[in-house]
Structure formats: C-alpha cells, structure tokens
Amino acid sequence: MRWSRRASQSSRPLQLDPAVFVTAAEELGFTLDDAQRRAVAALATADRNLYLWGPAGRGKSWLMATYFAALPTSRKRRIHFHEFFGDLHLAIRRNGNDLSAALGDLLGALDVVCFDEFHVHDPADGKFIARLLPALLDREIRVILTSNYPPQSLLPNPLFHDDFVPTIELIERTLTIVAVDGPVDYRTISSHEAGFAAGFWVSPGSPSQVEHLGLSAPDPDERTTLAPAGHPVHVRRAADGWLWIEFTDLCGRTTAPVDYLALAGEFQKWVISDIPDLRTAGREPAQRFANAIDVLYDRDVTPVFLASTTLDFLTNGAHLPLDMGRIRSRLGQLSCIGPDAAELEVTP
C-alpha cells in the first residue's frame, strides 16, 4: 500500500490559479476570509489529497464547487459521499464482492474525485469505511473530502470510536487537513431567490397558509406509490415536477438517502407535510429528515415544509440528529411563515 502517495502523474493539468476563487467570490459580492484562503491554497495545488472541514455555512461546498467547475479536465467526479456508498455497494455485487474491482469500475477513468458531506455516525458505516479508505487512497487519483467534523470527531459514539481511530490516523497521515472555520455563516445572508433558499417553512401548515402560497392540497385519488430506488415510497402527489409527501411516508418508514436522491432527480419542487416536533418524532425519523434536507439542499430542490412547530422551536432541544447544527443552518435560509401568513405578501 502506498500510504504516502501524493498525486497521480496527471496532477499538473489539475493545478489552478488561486485567482479563480477570488474572482468567483467577487462576482458573488464577498471577499475570501483567511480560512477560505488557506483552503484555496491547498485546492489550487494538486500535490495532496485534502480534507476540508468546518462548521456549516463557511463555504466548504462553494469552494468545492468552484474548484470542480474550474478543473481543466473531464476526468473528474463530484458526489455526495453517501450517494457514492450506494453506487459502490452495487458495484461490489457486480464484481463478486471485490472492492478494488468495484472502485476500478466507478473511478478508474478519473483523475480527481470530490466527496461532499463526509461523516461517520453509524458503526456499520465505520467498519465499511475502514475497508474503503485504504483501497481508495491507494489509487492514482486525487481525493478531496468536505466534512462538518474534524477527523478526531468522526464516529463520536464512545462505544465504537476507538475501533475507528486507525482510520482517523490514516486520514490524518495521508490527507492535508484544512479547517474552513471563518466567522461568517453565509447561509444566514441568503437572498432567498432560487433553489433551496427560495423555499418556505410554514407553521402550523393550515389550509389557508397552503392556499396563500398558491398551492392546492392533493386529492385522495392523487395518492400513488413510487419506487425511486427499488422499494415503495407512498406520496400524495407526483406530477408536473412537484412531489407532495407526508413526513410519515418520507421519514417514518425505512427510506434512505438513495430514495431521496432518486426523487430529487425527478422532482425539483417538494412539499413535505405534517412535520411533527422532531424532539418527539423518534431518533430514526428525525435522522431521516436530516438526511432528506441534506439531499434537497445538495440538489437545490425548492421545498415547502408544512410543520406543526415553528422552525426555531423545532431545531432546539435534546434528542435531535447529530448533524442538527448543519441542518439548522440550511433551514435558516428558508422564508418562515407563521399563523399570520394571511397578512404577508408571499410569491411562491
């Protein structure tokens, strides 16, 4: 195993002028902070794999997107890490449980792969990642990860953390660790103009509020069953680019990110209705809801959340998903509508 491997022989074409990032930031009306400049310096050179981590909203995804768009090659791929999990498991089965061959199928023609939202909470995921990372890092390909967690905070459950320490040490040994932890959460200054940020959090989700948004509640005969990733997902409406689904059907059943990703690829506008207080919804439904928000944000789907509680009330308290800081930041981009919505001027 070549643990000290730097970059592939194709690294030179993957180098970038740091001015690319400066110009992109200026076009969006902001100036790179010191932490972002450190990340730019690491991204712009192609001699190391990278691990970019920091609190939600500090620009990790923007930095990754800017880097990816500017790379002067088509031999690149950017993917949500746990979406890659789904693809990899299928490839492993196709290749007779041969992990190396499966990685060759998925990554063999690439010079660089960018993974968004790397995290490890589940012990079973931790065991698989402990097998995956050595095989991945041994390939002639540049690997870039973004995460909300420093390596030492991965798989924080004290019952399993020690078993994951060798993998953490591998990350620290073979990737450059860069903290993107500037003072500004850029999601709090969203213009609410398009995509996810153009969505709404509506409480209590009354019929008059729904009507005020220009939406009509589905009729009973619109209810249907989809199979986005091979198993059934019940929805109230799936038509004209809109998906209307109840919280129970989305998060109360054994759905997974692979389902949300497939649905987000087909429907660019979602209504999720009957959202309860997450503090009483149960750990697994709350975590599925957090996973769904990650997918909707990553795919820039415009959502309407019809909830029993206000957003501030919903996202504070115990027994919430581990990633609630990131989820709170993402939901904070939405326009919030309360019981007095009839008095508001809202353009859906």
Model pLDDT, residue 111: 92
Say which residue, 82 or 292, is predicted with more confidence. 292
Q: Give the pLDDT mean for 170-180.
A: 96
Model pLDDT, residue 316: 63
Residue 325, C-beta contacts closer than 8 angstroms, at least 6 positions apart = 55, 56, 148
- Residue 59 pLDDT exceeds 60: yes
Q: Are strands 335-337 and 302-307 parallel, antiparallel or unpaired?
A: unpaired
- Residue 3 pLDDT exceeds 50: no
CA–CA gap between residue 144 and residue 68 (Å, rounded): 10
Q: Give the pLDDT mean for 251-273.
A: 91
- Residue 13 pLDDT exceeds 90: no
Model pLDDT, residue 324: 72
Say which residue, 291 or 179, is predicted with more confidence. 179
Confirm if 164 and 127 have CB atoms less than 8 A apart.
no
- Residue 187 pLDDT exceeds 70: no
**Percent of the chain clearing pLDDT 90 (strictly above):** 55
> What does the mean pLDDT of the chain come to?
86
- Residue 61 pLDDT exceeds 90: no
Grade residue 319 by pLDDT with cuts at 50, 70 and 90: low
pTM: 0.68
Grade residue 50 by pLDDT with cuts at 50, 70 and 90: very high
CA–CA gap between residue 79 and residue 222 (Å, rounded): 33
Q: Give the pLDDT mean for 252-275.
A: 91
**Percent of the chain clearing pLDDT 70 (strictly above):** 89
Model pLDDT, residue 345: 40
Model pLDDT, residue 93: 93
- Residue 207 pLDDT exceeds 70: yes
Q: 112 - beta bridge partners? A: 76, 142
- Residue 15 pLDDT exceeds 70: yes
Model pLDDT, residue 1: 34
3-state secondary structure the chain: CCCCCCCCCCCHHHCCCCHHHHHHHHHCCCCCCHHHHHHHHHHHCCCCEEEEECCCCCCHHHHHHHHHHHCCCCCEEEEEHHHHHHHHHHHHHHCCCCHHHHHHHHHCCCCEEEEECCCCCCHHHHHHHHHHHHHHHCCCCEEEEEECCCHHHCCCCCCCHHHHHHHHHHHHHHEEEEECCCCCCHHHHCCCCCHHHHCEEECCCCHHHHHHCCCCCCCHHHCEEECCCCCCEEECEEECCEEEEEHHHHHCCCCCHHHHHHHHHHCCEEEEEEECCHHHHCHHHHHHHHHHHHHHHHCCCEEEEEECCCHHHHCCCCCCCCCHHHHHHHHCCCEEECCCHHHCCCCC
Grade residue 315 by pLDDT with cuts at 50, 70 and 90: low
Query: What is the separation, in whole angstroms, between the first and last Cα of the chain?
Result: 54
Lowest mean pLDDT among 2-11, 78-87, 175-184, 311-320: 2-11
Q: Cα torsion for 190, 36, 109, 228, to the nearest 10°?
A: -30
Model pLDDT, residue 95: 95
* Sheet containing strand 112-116, strands side by side: 76-80, 112-116, 142-147, 49-53, 175-179
At 51 the three-state DSSP class reads: strand
**Domains, in order of start, for the chain:** 12-179 (3.40.50.300), 190-343 (3.40.50)
Say which residue, 9 or 19, is predicted with more confidence. 19
Q: Give the pLDDT mean for 111-122.
A: 89
Model pLDDT, residue 2: 35
Grade residue 282 by pLDDT with cuts at 50, 70 and 90: confident
CA–CA gap between residue 260 and residue 30 (Å, rounded): 32
- Residue 11 pLDDT exceeds 60: no
